[in-house]
Amino acid sequence: MKMKLTSPAFKDGEMIPKVYSGDGEDISPPLEWSDIPPGTQGLALISDDPDAPAGDWVHWVVYNIPPGERLLSKAVPPDSVLPNGALQGITDFQRIGYGGPMPPSGTHRYYFKLYALDAPLALGPGATKKHVLREMEGHILGSAQLMGRYKR
């Protein structure tokens, strides 16, 4: 069975509500997942905007999410270590935690990509997307993605 990643805030391909943007409250949307592969020892989530003028812009990095978790709630705090032990990394906003959409022009796509891993990542808090992707190499059991769009 293929992993699924959804949000009660928007459906795949739909517009992301303003509350989850840099124009609104700049809080993370709620995310839910299912059908995690057997043997998963940790999960990682990366959110980015491939339509940014300078290229891929990283909006959120969360890793070492416990394998039993099935959601990230709305408005995850910008803490480097979450109560469930998950770690958050540095975004292209140069800070820990979620940074919402605020494109300079046009409609941009925002991808939320969830990875099931066969081992926790040997990284401390504050890792970048590049570090997380490098550590995940050879450890991905499955993945799922959700894409939302946003226009100012």
Q: What is the DSSP string of 80-149?
A: SB-TTS-EE-B-TTSSBS------SSSEEEEEEEEEEESS--S--TT--HHHHHHHHTT-EEEEEEEEEE
Q: Which residue has the tokens 């891993």?
A: 117
Q: What is the pTM of this model?
A: 0.96
- Give the CATH number for residue 125: 3.90.280.10
User: What confidence score (pLDDT) does residue 43 get?
Assistant: 98
Tell me how many domains the chain contains: 1
On whether the CB atoms of residues 126 and 90 are closer than 8 A, the answer is yes
User: What confidence score (pLDDT) does residue 87 get?
Assistant: 98
User: What confidence score (pLDDT) does residue 107 get?
Assistant: 97
Q: Which residue has the tokens 């339509």?
A: 51
Q: Which residues are 151's β-sheet partners? A: 107
Structural domain for 136, as ranges: 4-151
On whether the CB atoms of residues 28 and 60 are closer than 8 A, the answer is yes
Statement: residue 1 has pLDDT above 80: no
User: Structure tokens of 49?
Assistant: 């905007």
User: What confidence score (pLDDT) does residue 63 get?
Assistant: 98
Q: Which amino acid is residue 152, in one-letter code?
A: R
pLDDT tens-place string over residues 19-46: 999 999 999 999 999 999 999 999 999 9
User: What confidence score (pLDDT) does residue 23 get?
Assistant: 96
Task: Give the confidence band of 80 by pLDDT, cuts at 50, 70, 90.
Answer: very high
Mean pLDDT on 48-62: 95
pLDDT tens-place string over residues 83-115: 999 999 999 999 999 999 999 999 999 999 999
Task: Give the confidence band of 140 by pLDDT, cuts at 50, 70, 90.
Answer: very high
